[in-house]
Amino acid sequence: MTVTTKPKTKKMTETEESYHNAYQLLIGATDYDKLAEQEVFYLPENHEDPEVTIRYYESIEDYEKCNQIIKSNDI
């Protein structure tokens, strides 16, 4: 008998979610109206500044996201 299970998806912390939301805004994948459709959403302080989000993704070594932010914001 073979048992297959779905891989567990890790629930994001509030910090991870806030930077994910900021990233989505910075690359144009979402907007404030779409975020507002959620019951609750988080954003980091000064999330409009791409450097804030870039520093976070550098700290967790997610350089693909850093590159995408730079490309999307002509930095």
For the stretch 17-70, pLDDT in tens is: 999 999 999 999 999 999 999 989 999 999 999 999 999 999 999 999 999 999
Whole-angstrom distance, CA of residue 18 vs CA of residue 24: 10
And the tokens for 22?
């900021």
Q: Which 8-state DSSP code applies to residue 13?
A: P
Q: What is the pLDDT of residue 11?
A: 87
Domain containing 37 equals 14-72
Q: How far apart are CA 67 and CA 11, in angstroms?
A: 25
Residue 6 lies in a domain: no
Residue 3: pLDDT above 80? no
CB 32 within 8 A of CB 47: no
| Count of domains forming the chain | 1
What pLDDT does 75 receive?
81
Task: Name the pLDDT band for 7 (thresholds 50, 70, 90).
Answer: low
